[in-house]
């Protein structure tokens, strides 16, 4: 783990787990603390992605010191982390983004599987790579040490799943992972940094309208298997149906219906990859009562039928 130091505080003693001299690609948790590992998924000049899985035998307190300035995102796929001094909980519903020289007093529950994907961005090198991403570095560095928590949206979950389950090897893997990393940063910027900015292509939407439509999207992200009707959704966000439908299309490029379909199909693909489920089971799980309609929608989006995808 480059230019950083990780430690656990256990039985009134500080135990260094890794340091700048430790191997970067893989770290195994000592058995006396429990089981697990930290694995480097991808590294490029401006970023690093790590996959962490561990289960502690007892309640544990840990921390990290960063020797080089970076922006860090913790995305918890299982378990939870508690930043005691910041009174922040990171779990499967909320992820953490921060820029600070260290983390201290991160609490872990015993006998609980923790799965965390960490994305680390180096601002100086990111600026050299792409001037289009300066909004990300400015968002953090203008405020000094900064901690944000954000809802784990369906779009974020999808990209993280694809990063963890890369289907390629060697040079193709590098190309795929870098592309997915940039997609992740685009989604993050869109959902957080740019959310409060009024897009130039939406001159007829007030700031209140935009916030209401983003709230509609959040509701759909949490309920796309059994979504509310347009009328019910409009009522919940206090907009009329016309403004909801047209504003949603302007902001996100999808109609409300097509957005729901897209989220269902992305989930179905994830279920095929992770679960031992057949086509009928997945179709039912994501809200399709008719398998044929599901198969047509799947082929339209991915260019292949569900059965061919499973073959």
- CA 218, 223, 224, 229 torsion: positive or negative? negative
The answer to whether residues 128 and 73 belong to one domain is yes
Convert the pLDDT of each residue in 258-295 to its tens digit: 999 999 999 998 888 887 789 999 999 999 999 999 99
Residue 127 CA to residue 136 CA, distance in Å, equals 10
Beta-carbon contacts of residue 60 (< 8 Å; ≥ 6 apart): 8, 9, 10, 33, 34, 107, 108, 110
Mean pLDDT value across residues 206-226 = 88
Contact (Cβ atoms closer than 8 angstroms) between residue 219 and residue 211: no
Q: Could you tell me if residue 201 is inside a domain?
A: no
If asked whether residues 114 and 211 sit together in one domain, one would say: no
154 confidence band (pLDDT: 50, 70, 90): confident
Examine the domain organization and report whether 32 and 169 are in the same domain. yes
Is 199 within a domain? Answer: no
Q: Which of 122-136, 216-230, 296-310 has the lowest mean pLDDT?
A: 122-136
CA–CA separation, 139 vs 147, rounded Å? 11
- pTM metric for this prediction: 0.69
Whether residues 120 and 23 share a domain: the answer is yes
CATH of the domain at 296: 1.10.10.60
Same domain, 236 and 280: no
Q: Are residues 118 and 9 in the same domain?
A: yes
Query: Is residue 202 in a domain?
Result: no
Average pLDDT over residues 240-265: 91
For the cut 50, the answer to whether the pLDDT of residue 1 exceeds it is no
Residue with tokens 């390629």: 168
- Six-digit token string for 273: 């990859």
Residue 86 has pLDDT above 60, yes or no: yes
């Amino acid at each position: 783990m480059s230019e950083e130091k990780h430690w656990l505080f256990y039985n009134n003693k500080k135990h260094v787990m890794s340091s700048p001299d430790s191997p970067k690609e893989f770290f195994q948790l000592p058995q006396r603390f429990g089981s697990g590992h930290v694995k480097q998924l991808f590294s490029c000049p401006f970023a690093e992605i790590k996959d962490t899985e561990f289960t502690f035998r007892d309640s544990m307190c840990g921390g990290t010191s960063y020797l080089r300035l970076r922006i860090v995102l913790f995305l918890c796929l299982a378990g939870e982390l508690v930043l005691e001094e910041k009174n922040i909980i990171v779990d499967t519903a909320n992820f953490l983004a921060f820029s600070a020289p260290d983390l201290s007093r991160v609490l872990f529950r015993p006998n609980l599987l923790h799965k965390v994907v960490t994305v680390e961005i180096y601002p100086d090198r990111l600026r050299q790579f792409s001037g289009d991403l300066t909004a990300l570095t400015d968002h953090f560095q203008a405020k000094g040490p900064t901690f944000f928590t954000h809802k784990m949206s369906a779009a974020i979950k999808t990209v993280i799943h694809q990063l963890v389950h890369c289907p390629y090897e060697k040079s193709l893997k590098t190309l795929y992972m870098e592309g997915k990393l940039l997609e992740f940063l685009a989604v993050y910027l869109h959902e957080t940094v740019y959310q409060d900015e009024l897009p130039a292509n939406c001159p007829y939407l007030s700031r209140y309208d935009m916030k209401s439509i983003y709230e509609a999207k959040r509701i759909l992200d949490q309920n796309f298997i059994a979504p509310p009707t347009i009328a019910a959704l409009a009522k919940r966000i206090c907009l009329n149906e016309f403004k909801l439908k047209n504003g949603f299309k302007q902001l996100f490029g999808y109609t409300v219906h097509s957005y729901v379909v897209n989220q269902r199909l992305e989930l179905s693909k994830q279920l095929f990859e992770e679960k031992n489920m057949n086509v009928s089971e997945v179709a039912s799980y994501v809200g399709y009562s008719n398998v044929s309609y599901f198969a047509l929608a799947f082929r339209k989006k991915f260019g292949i039928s569900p059965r061919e995808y499973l073959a």
